[in-house]
Amino acid sequence: MPVSYLEKTKIFKLDAGDSTYVLRVADEGYLLGLYWGAKIPDADFEGYDLRDYASSFSPRNEIVGEGRFSPDVAPVEYSGFGTGDFRKTPAALRNADGNDATDFRYAGHRIHEGKRAPAGMPGLRADTPADCETLEIDMTDRTTGAALTLFYTVFKDEPVISRFAVLKNASDRPLEIEKLASASVQLNAMDFDFIHLYGRWGAERNYVRAPLAHGHQSISSTRGSSSHYHNPFAALAKHGADEESGEVYGFSLIYSGSFDITADVDYYETTRVNMGINPDGFLWHLEPGEVFETPEAVLVYSAEGLGGMSRAFHRLWLNRLIRGKYRTEKRPLLINSWEAAFFDFDADKLVSFAERAKEIGIDMLVMDDGWFGRRNDDRSSLGDWWVNEDKLEGGLGSLIERVNALGLKFGIWYEPEMISPDSDLFRAHPDWCLHVPNRPNSIARHQYVIDMSRKDVRDNLWEQINAVLSKYKIDYVKWDFNRNLTEAGSALLSAPRGEEIFHRFVLGTYELMGRLVDTYPDLLLENCSGGGGRFDPGMLYFSPQIWCSDNTDPVERLAIQFGTSLCYPASSMGAHVSMSRRAGFETKGNVAMWGTFGYELDPNRLGEKDLEIVKKQTADYHRYYELIHYGDLYRITDPWDNAYRCAWMFVSPDKAEALYTQVNMRYYHCPFLLVRFRGLDPAKNYTLEGTGKTYSGAFLMNAGLNLSECPRGDGSSFTLHFVRE
């Protein structure tokens, strides 16, 4: 059984794949986190949680541990604020008496097969109840009557534990949640490096690694979305852990709004990690009997370095999070009109794109921004989701018929969460944008944010979207989100519920996206937010792919895609070949192939030489689709530690084939280059395609190949394809 309870010692033991997580109920109902790490067969943790108080400045509980127990130093699993634990705590409730002292103690538990997701939010799924077991631990604040349930789900064959918390106001008076984390994790050391992904528009998810120090290190967003600037992912890696060896603890939050992940090191050199909704700008009011549920957090343990952690996350998102037809079905190869035409297009221009796209093996034409309302630039019409027939002469139906007649599918762009001041919708309903009384609204990209917390707003948007999708044959929707939330208030939310708007906005977005994918299960949905500004597991639940970045330069894309791959699989990374200036089409294609692959250009501008290269790329897309979308990723050389090149490879799950890709960011001066490959079967032989030469997997991984004769020039690249005999 993956979850067991030892009645005698009051220990919970959670065995997840090759990892173990241990909890214990101590005297007076304190729930303690004793261990998380490599799998262990036994659970004799006597004295393991004993941490003597330091001085009178660490308040003691005289009943527990012969008077030596202090919540200030004990590994309390889910600690409250203001009752003796002075570290960063996961919970703080303001009660009807006006104070926020919070203290949860164990009240009971249940163990059962299967799992559920938090209400109204994405979550991991079990295909059958037998796939996993869930531990529910009931906790009570005996003073306020607040009832907390901690959910732990263990997937039997994966090093993964998912967690969330549910709080019920079981008292007869209101209370307010100031902070309620999805998970709090206790680690018995501080010899870790804190790894996270930072960035900005056009340079998302750069890798950063720094040693933990006393105090706390955190990443967060207060923008109402997960953002370009930090991603809701972090890892703690043991000092010296690298791509393929050493212990790594991964943390990811299935959420698309403001978040916080904090690692707090105490003076006993132990570490606590809290993760969940950002408490800044958050306050949730609970009347008696009302319930609040947190987003789901995911914990991954790897003893095989960062690569092992990444591959565990990749398999998890592919098998347990991404849903719908295109989780497993091959996706169409698309060309998007944005960089080819921006707002300047008509039906004939789009059909000309489709005609040339058909010649080079593309499956779908996507019409981006500019098809609706009176939209000829970014200053108007968001919210007016009716077809601009002045631009699309003959109407949308005629255009789609012409594209379909060529054998191509058709896609369309939306930005439902935004509204233009210059729109019919805003003129009719000026209170439908986010706003606060007596304060001017900030403008960004000439648009406001629509109030997704309101059901009447979502119903109006759905009626408009559904009117188009139900009438026309549309196979793909790109859902964009091009600014963050400011003046975040709603006309329908006032005190004491005003600060609920950030979370209610996210819940509203999830509800509308859910309507879309449930009503149109054959639709391919791709998320976007000025590129990768909302690249998070919450969005992956609805859309199997997300536009990775608006920056399509292949050399700059290397860092973006390397960083993204720490947590997210290649099949989720929207990556296109564009007319960017640096590097040729070979390299552009090799970089974009590490992702969903597609084109962002005017195909009529391709010369004969580039046209032939593109035709080969579209053939390679189909040839390597399964290997790249569902294979195991091994990062060989990253673009931060090497000034000249970066390289990666995909290995099929059965290790029958592998594809190695190398991109030279600048000329490589050294005339000797030996590369050792990874992930192969050491006992089998592999043939290097195009050479006829055969090597054992052991040779390729341990001795390696001399690649000195391969291209080394600025922006050059090459691939090597190995097939097992």
Nearest to 548 by CA among 196, 203, 122: 203
Pairwise CA distance, residues 13 & 17, whole Å: 13
Pairwise CA distance, residues 90 & 75, whole Å: 13
Pairwise CA distance, residues 261 & 359, whole Å: 48
Protein fold of 634-724: Immunoglobulin-like (2.60.40)
Low-confidence ranges of the chain (pLDDT < 50): none
Pairwise CA distance, residues 316 & 243, whole Å: 19
Residue with tokens 């943390």: 251
550 flagged as catalytic: yes
**Cα distances (Å, whole numbers) of residue 608 to 122, 352, 613:** 47, 17, 9
Structural domain boundaries in the chain: 3-321, 332-632, 634-724
- Can you give the pLDDT at residue 666? 87
Nearest to 341 by CA among 350, 351, 332: 350
Pairwise CA distance, residues 255 & 277, whole Å: 8
- Can you give the pLDDT at residue 672? 86
Marked catalytic residue, from 85, 141, 266, 480: 480
Q: What angle do CA 236, 269, 24 make, to 5 degrees?
A: 80
**DSSP codes, 615-645:** HHHHHHHHHHHHHHHHSEEEEEE-TTT-SSE
- Can you give the pLDDT at residue 65? 66
Helix axis angle, 501-519 to 455-469, nearest 10°: 30
Marked catalytic residue, from 15, 131, 550, 620: 550
- Can you give the pLDDT at residue 668? 75
Protein fold of 332-632: TIM Barrel (3.20.20)
Nearest to 13 by CA among 51, 50, 40: 40
- Can you give the pLDDT at residue 669? 74
Q: Pick 3-321's CATH classification: 2.70.98.60, 3.30.360.10, 3.40.50.1980, 2.60.120.10.
A: 2.70.98.60
Beta bridge partners of 215: 265
- Can you give the pLDDT at residue 67? 65
pLDDT tens digits, 39-98: 999 988 887 877 777 777 888 776 776 667 888 989 999 999 999 899 999 999 999 999
- Residue 223, helix vs strand vs coil: coil
Question: What is the distance between the terminal CA atoms of the chain, rounded to a whole angstrom?
Answer: 39
Pairwise CA distance, residues 474 & 409, whole Å: 8
Pairwise CA distance, residues 456 & 402, whole Å: 36
- Can you give the pLDDT at residue 272? 98
Pairwise CA distance, residues 244 & 242, whole Å: 6
Pairwise CA distance, residues 431 & 316, whole Å: 41
